[in-house]
Amino acid sequence: MKVRSNFSLKQKHLSFVVVALVFTALVLWAWEENPFLTTSQSVQAWYRTSNAGFIVGSVNNSALPNTRKENTAETYSNLSTKEQIVKDDAHSEVTPTDFASKFPNRNKSNENACSYANGEWVPDNSQPLYSGFGCKRWLSAMWACRLTQRPDFSYERYRWVPKDCEMPPFERSKFLQRMQDKTIAFIGDSLGRQQFQSLMCMATGGEESPDVKDVGKEYGLVKAKGAIRPDGWAYRFPSSNTTILYYWSSSLSDLLPLNISDPATDVAMHLDRPPAFLRKFLHLFDVLVLNTGHHWNRGKIRDNRWVMYKDGIRSELGNLKEIGRAKNFTVHSIVKWLDSQLPSHRRLKAFFRTLSPRHFSNGEWNTGGNCDNTSPLSRGSKVVQSGSSDPVVESAVRGTQVKILDITALSQLRDEAHKSRYNIKGTPGSSDCLHWCLPGIPDTWNEILIAQI
């Protein structure tokens, strides 16, 4: 009896161990497979633990624990950033060609079954979607290439056809019907402004529409005293109660004057905080499109008196490589924050648009560089690739509910569609090989956006 009793106890013990092992395995499997478990930590916790931390010569390094400083240094010794600095003639913007940063990949991807980024440019005489001579209320004259001395407009007669995705032709009545009682917001730099103006022209057919109301005051978008322009625009279509707005935020970081009473004060550039405008009005948006990239350079940061902050700690700017890393960190930071907000904003569809390419040849903006080619698709007509040409944005949205609006590679093929050296004054000037003619390539970005909504 005693032997049987001991044997029985051993059996029970063994059974308990087996059950415990099975339970542990199931928990570990669930942790790896469930993206919610891996993203449910607070944004603050992610900032503390992410490999995307950002410290550059902080004047308050003594306030940081030694272990934190060591971890940060180790993180950046393993990162690589490739940058090219260029400048355009319109807004002194600079483009970091920043396509080589390493960030932690998350477990799941929200990529669609098809890729709108793969496909082909095809001739289409039904293009453009609106007149380049009209749309004066919405379209800045400097981007309306039909108003310039440019002689060739063949770039207008092409349409993007995704390889494995259905993208029906744009119809403004159907678009406004689909967007009834909805608000579409673009937040970013001047390329985001171009996309906003493009959508306004598409939605109005490029025609004067006096019934469309200016509702900028509802969002605080009014021209301040002494300012050249307001911080953005907002318009509403009464027939469908559709609102389309744009807010200028070239860095997608929160900017706060250090001394609000001093016009010449430095401005705190909080890399780990989204713009106050976005935080304040996010609950009103149904579609959100973010972009950044063309203002991350030493000259722009110096001219704007931006001083970088992270975790409330001021950082001194070291070199151009650190600026690229700061940009990459900000992209990851705002995507992480936005993803954390989406569960409480269930109707919101959020997108991050990839970098719009520039096409300077035979020099840069200030050394005779140009984009004088007028032959469409001289670089080819097709895009077939497995990943995005903007891996920073691609890695940032991976594992989140924020979608990628991937326009880099398809836009790279259209070097003939920039503003080039033409302007409305008809006077010689440097070439703008960053911004696009409208109507033009940003219309395609919007068609892809609408297909994904």
Q: What is the mean pLDDT of residues 35-42?
A: 32
Distance CA 384, CA 172 (A): 30
In angstroms, the CA 408 to CA 391 distance is: 10
Q: What is the pLDDT of residue 21?
A: 53
- Which range is most confident: 29-33, 307-311, 398-402? 398-402
- Return d(Cα 72, Cα 372) in angstroms, integer: 45
| 345 — pLDDT class (breaks 50, 70, 90) | very high
Across the chain, mean pLDDT equals 80
| Residue 93: count of CB within 10 angstroms of its CB | 23
**25 or 345: whose pLDDT is higher?**
345
Residue 297: what pLDDT? 83
Residue 73 pLDDT more than 90? no
Determine the average pLDDT of the residues in 340-359. Answer: 97
**29/287: higher pLDDT:** 287
In tens, the pLDDT along 298-333 reads: 888 889 999 999 889 887 655 556 888 999 999 999
Report the C-alpha gap between 334 and 277 in whole angstroms.
13
The pLDDT assigned to 427 comes to 85
Query: What confidence score (pLDDT) does residue 414 get?
Result: 98
Give the mean model confidence (pLDDT) for residues 369-379: 93
Sign of the torsion formed by the C-alpha atoms of 191, 195, 196 and 197: positive
Q: What is the pLDDT of residue 51?
A: 32
What are φ and ψ of residue 326, in 5° steps? -65, -40
- pLDDT confidence tier of residue 275, bands split at 50, 70 and 90: very high
DSSP conformation letters of 292-309:
--TT-SHHHHHHTTEEEE
Nearest CA-CA partner of 132 in 358, 449, 374, 442: 442
190-201 tens-digit pLDDT: 999 999 999 999
Contact between 96 and 293 under an 8 Å Cβ cutoff? The reply is yes
Decide if pLDDT at 219 tops 60.
yes
Mean pLDDT, rounded, for 325-346: 96
Is pLDDT of 398 > 60? yes
For the stretch 137-159, pLDDT in tens is: 999 999 999 999 999 999 999 99
Q: Which of 348, 24, 16 is nearest to 185 (CA)?
A: 348
Q: Is 406 exposed, middle or buried (0-12, 13-18, 19+ CB in 10 A)?
A: buried
Closest Cα partner for 107 from 391, 399, 336?
Answer: 399
Q: What is the pLDDT of residue 181?
A: 98
Most confident region among 25-39, 83-97, 210-224, 317-331 by mean pLDDT: 210-224
Tell me whether strands 254-257 and 119-123 are parallel, antiparallel or unpaired.
unpaired
CB count within 10 Å of CB 38 equals 14
DSSP state for residue 142 in the 8-state scheme: G
Whole-angstrom distance, CA of residue 448 vs CA of residue 430: 31
How far from 171 is each of 28, 69, 176, 199, 202, CA to CA, in Å?
A: 49, 55, 9, 12, 9
- Among residues 379, 383, 335, the alpha carbon closest in space to that of 115 is found at 383
pLDDT for the residue numbered 16: 53
The conformation of residue 240, written as its DSSP 8-state character, comes to: T
Residue 407 has pLDDT above 90, yes or no: yes
pLDDT greater than 80 at residue 234 = yes
The confidence score (pLDDT) of residue 450 equals 97
7 pLDDT above the threshold of 90: no
pLDDT of residue 363: 83
For residue 90, the SS3 value is coil
| Termini Cα distance of the chain | 73
Express as a percent the part of the chain with pLDDT over 70: 74
DSSP three-state, residue 123:
strand
From CA 66, how far away is CA 52, in angstroms rounded? 18
Q: Note the pLDDT tens digit of each residue in 166-191.
A: 899 999 999 999 999 999 999 999 99
- Residue 195 to residue 443: CA distance in whole angstroms: 7
Q: Cβ distance 388 to 408 under 8 Å?
A: yes
- Given a cut of 60, whether residue 163 has pLDDT beyond it is yes
What secondary structure does DSSP assign to 315-380, as a single string? B----HHHHHHHHHHHHHHHHHHHHHHGGG-TT-EEEEE-PPP---BSS-TTTT-B----STTTT-
pTM of the model: 0.77
* Average pLDDT of span 250-264: 94
If one compares 96 and 388, the residue with the highest pLDDT of the two is 388
| Residue 61, pLDDT above cutoff 50 | no
Write the pLDDT tens digit of every residue in 415-435: 999 999 999 888 888 899 999
